[in-house]
Amino acid sequence: MSEEPILSVRDLRITYQTGRNSEVVAARDVEFDLYPGQSMALVGESGCGKTTLGLGLLRLLPKLGRIPQGEIVYRRKDGTTADILKMGKEELRRFRWSEAAMVFQGAMNAFNPVQRIGAHFADTLKDHLPEGKRLSKTEIRERSEELLRMVRLEPGRVLPSFPHELSGGMKQRALIALALALNPQVLVLDEPTTALDLLTQCSIVEELHRLRAEFGFTMIFITHDLGLAAELADRVSTMYAGRIIETGTAEDIFYDPRHPYTSGLINAVLPVVGDLPQLASIPGSPPSLATLPAGCAFGPRCEYVQDRCREAVPALEPLTDRPDGLTHATACLRAEDVQHSREVVSRA
C-alpha cells in the first residue's frame, strides 16, 4: 500500500432538504482515509446513509442533497491533491469517470430501454472524454469492444442488443465496463449484486476480484450483504443513522465486532454452507433521521444500553493502532463488554 491516501475524508456532513425550512442530516461526522488499491465495504441496514455517502464522495447527490461541512481530499493520477468539495464544474467533470466512477444503485434498470447497449457506450465515451479530445466512430467501437471483453462479455452479441435482451448479470457486467471506460482510480459500486440470483452474484464478485487484480483500482463497495462484504473488502465500515459506527479490517469486523449493531448484523447473516444457525435479527428498526434519540442512536435497540449511553453521541474511538486506515475503531461506550460468538461462514 502507498503511504498517501487516495481519499481523505474529514468531518463530512450531508443533508437533504425536506421542506422549506427543514432538513435531515443523512451523513455526519464521517472520517476515513482510503489508500490506493484498498477495497472498503460500507454496510448497514436500509436508510443508514450508505448511498448518500457514496454519492456525496463524488458530489453526485440529488438536487435536495447538500454537503454543508467537511473535506474530501482526493489524490489525482498525477499525484496532485484537491478537495472534491472545492472543485469547480469543469474540474468536477474531469474528475468524474476519469478519476472516480460510480455504478449506481438500481442502475441496471436505468439503461434506456429503446437504446442499444452500443449507443450507451458511445454516449459515455463521448460525454466524458477530457476537453478537446475526440474519438472517431472506429475508436469508440474498438474501445467499447475492449471494455466488454474486460468483463468477459461478447461484444458482437452485446453491443447491438437492447437492454431487455440481456440477462441481469450481463447488464451488471456492462455497467461495470461502462464505469471503467475512462480508467478511473476509484470505483464506487452501490449494491451491484442486489437484484441478481446467488450464482450470478458470485460471478460478479469473481469478476470484481479479477478486475481489481488486473487494474488495481481502489474500491468502495456499498452493500447490506455482509457475506459479500466479507469476500470483497479488505476493510469494512458499518453505518448506522448516518454515522460510521465501526470500522476495521474484514477480520476485525467479522470475527471481533465491538459494536452491538455490527455484531447483530453479522448474526443475521445466513451461511450458505455449514449448519443452519439460529438466526438472530436486531429488534426494531433504524430511527427516523428527523428525530434521532439522545446520545447513541442505537440505544433504543441495544441490549447493552446504560444510562450513560443517552448522555452524548459516542465518538469513533480506535481500539488498535494500525497503518493505512486499517485501525479497528468503534463508537460504543461498552466496546469491551460486547460478546460475539458466532463463526462467520463465507459463501466462497
Query: Rule CB under 5 A: which residues touch Mg ion?
Result: 51, 105
52 binds, among ligand ATP, ligand SF4, Mg ion, none (CB under 5 to 8 A by kind): ligand ATP
User: In the window 243-262, what residues touch ligand SF4 (CB under 6 A)?
Assistant: 259-260
- Is residue 52 within the footprint of ligand ATP (CB under 6 A)? yes
Binding mask 314-333 for ligand SF4 (x = CB under 6 A): x-----------------xx
Amino acid code (one letter) for 37: G
Strand partners, 33: 8
Q: How far apart are CA 287 and CA 301, in angstroms?
A: 10
Comparison of 5 and 314: residue with beta carbon closer to ligand SF4: 314
Which residue's CB is nearer to ligand SF4, number 227 or number 314? 314
Cα(104)–Cα(54) distance, integer angstroms: 9
The CA distance from 189 to 202, in Å, is 15
Calculate the CA 101 to chain-centre distance.
Answer: 11
| DSSP state for residue 295 in the 8-state scheme | S
CA distance 105 to 189: 8
Q: Which of the stretches 16-24, 85-93, 190-198, 296-304 binds ligand SF4 when contact is defined by CB under 6 A? A: 296-304
Are 135 and 126 a contacting pair, CB within 8 Å? yes
50 binds ligand ATP (CB under 6 A): yes
Q: What residues between 17 and 36 interact with ligand ATP by CB under 6 A? A: 18, 24, 26
> Applying CB under 6 A, does 261 fall inside the site for ligand ATP?
no
Looking at the Cβ atoms of 105 and 185, the one nearer to Mg ion is 105
DSSP 242-266: TEEEEEEEHHHHHHS--SHHHHHHH
Of the candidates 144, 204, 138, 206, the one whose C-alpha atom is nearest the C-alpha of residue 171 is 204
Give contact residues for ligand ATP (rule: CB under 6 A): 16, 18, 24, 26, 44, 46-52, 62, 64, 105, 224, 289
Q: Which residues bind ligand SF4 (CB under 6 A)?
A: 259-260, 296, 298-299, 302, 304-305, 309, 314, 332-334
